[in-house]
Amino acid sequence: MKRDFLRLWDFTSEEIISLIKRAIDLKKGVDASSCPLIGKSIGLLFEKPSTRTRVSFEVGIYQLGAQPLYMRPDEIQLGRGETIADTARVLSRYLNGIVIRTFEHTRLEEFASAATIPVINGLSDSHHPCQALADMMTIYEKKGRIEGIRVSYIGDGNNVANSLVEACGRLGFTLTIATPEGYEPDADVLDTARSGSGEIILLRDPKEAAAMADVIYTDVWVSMGEEQEAEKKKKRFEKYQLNSSLLACSKPDAIVMHCLPAHRGEEITDEVLDGPNSVVFDQAENRLHAQKALLEMLIK
């Protein structure tokens, strides 16, 4: 039976930990000459631009022995009015799996319900599970564990925050989120994750959230598709910048994370992003290894 990866909550804690450990092995070069997906073809259907997601998936698919096939909506009949379901049914006849980067999460769910091949969420407006998987790998790699770690997320309760919330519920760490009123992660995501093993704390004060953090994480304040709200959001979030003063509130060995791209001088300053506590570019690299482990698991 095919499995999809539309949100982190789709996988159990045991499955996530297994993927993280496999990703670390792949990063170390274990089975480096193995091509478990040789002869397979995996589609990349992107309705949003991308650097890390596209390149890491294309390279990872190639390294596993499969063929990546990149598609934009304007290059296929989906851009000319073919239904999502019909596109899913046709592509299922050609491909062994597909990664989709889109806007509304419901489009992803509609595609997955009609497809007979595994569907991976490369990003939607509601969730970014591949990023969270790489984030958890990075924390495990840098801190030696995930359970019991204190992660503080400073900024907009966006798709990245939603996936971190679900990671918290599955993996048993403490997630403190500091965000202005009205910008919290989705209520249904919070409710679901609170049934899990972690602790989720919502605060307004970023300094309080940063206090004693093992990991301090931020993301852009204005996501793709929100450009019309840019000035309003920047004003609301101006006190939530991850700078050296805020970092000083956390533990001396706290690691700094950002999913990139970064708007330097807005949500994070140069001295923090490029400083000794930053693991941001290791985190970006880990997208490749975590997604290779995911592809191995899903594509048969």
Active site residues: 101, 128, 131, 219, 259, 287
d(CA 188, CA 180): 18
Please confirm whether the linkage preceding 261 is cis (ω < 30° from 0).
yes
CA atoms within 13 A on the CB side of 261: 7
Sheet holding 97-101, edge to edge: 67-71, 41-46, 97-101, 119-123
DSSP the chain: ----BSSGGGS-HHHHHHHHHHHHHHHHTTTTT--TTTT-EEEEEESS--SHHHHHHHHHHHHTTPEEEEE-GGGSGGGGT--HHHHHHHHHHH-SEEEEE-SSHHHHHHHHHH-SS-EEEEE-SS--HHHHHHHHHHHHHHHS--TT-EEEEES---HHHHHHHHHHHHH--EEEEE--TT-PPPHHHHHHHTTSSSEEEEES-HHHHHTT-SEEEE--SS-TT-GGGHHHHHHHTGGG-B-HHHHTTS-TTPEEEE-S---BTTTB-HHHHTSTTB-HHHHHHHHHHHHHHHHHHH--
